[in-house]
């Protein structure tokens, strides 16, 4: 099973692809889709969608996974995140990919063992679970964590 993990964001969407066979996982690829903050919103969303479509075409995942939406204190930030998620989910939908959604606390618990883990703990555990992996950045690390969590959680959904 090839799983595409996603960490949507308007400025930089992280993606991570793993292969899951039973309880074993292996890194396939990871990266980030960055957008120009000076570009119009429609162009940024189109870049997110087309960038992810290229990732899906290259790695042919069987399914995708993303963190559930959380609400920021700033409504504008929440709206921008929702728009980026929409572009990312639309790319998955256009490719016929089912997308599982997981709460951030469940992702952290599945990867680190505690739902209150911070980013450094998640990144440290990625090095243990995926030895030798070169992570493209913090957003890609989060996406890999989502993919790993999905490998463990989705059969129970």
Residue of 143, 145, 117 lying closest to 12 (CA atoms): 143
What are φ and ψ of residue 34, in 5° steps? -100, 150
Q: Is 142 annotated as a binding residue?
A: no
Selected catalytic residue, list 67, 68, 101, 142: 67
Q: Give the contacts of 34 (CB within 8 A, at least 6 positions apart).
A: 11, 12
Q: Is 7 annotated as a binding residue?
A: yes
Selected catalytic residue, list 36, 68, 101, 139: 139
139 annotated active-site:
yes
Q: Please give the Cα distance from 92 to 115 (Å, whole number).
A: 27
Q: Is 67 annotated as a binding residue?
A: yes
Q: Please give the Cα distance from 133 to 112 (Å, whole number).
A: 17
Show binding-site residues. 7, 67, 139
Residues tagged active-site:
7, 67, 139
Show binding-site residues for Mg(2+). 7, 67, 139
């Amino acid at each position: 099973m090839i799983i595409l993990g996603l960490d949507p964001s308007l400025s930089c969407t992280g993606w991570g692809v793993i292969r899951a066979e039973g309880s074993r996982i292996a890194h396939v690829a990871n990266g980030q889709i960055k957008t120009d903050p000076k570009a119009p919103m429609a162009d940024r969303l189109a870049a997110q969608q087309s960038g992810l479509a290229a990732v899906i075409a290259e790695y042919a995942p069987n399914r995708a996974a993303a963190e559930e939406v959380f609400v920021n204190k700033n409504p504008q930030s929440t709206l921008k995140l929702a728009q980026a998620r929409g572009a990312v989910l639309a790319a998955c939908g256009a490719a016929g990919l089912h997308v599982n959604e997981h709460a951030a606390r469940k992702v952290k618990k599945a990867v680190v063992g505690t739902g209150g883990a911070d980013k450094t703990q998640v990144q440290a555990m990625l090095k243990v679970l995926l030895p030798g992996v070169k992570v493209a950045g913090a957003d890609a690390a989060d996406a890999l964590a989502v993919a790993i969590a999905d490998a463990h959680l989705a059969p129970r959904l």
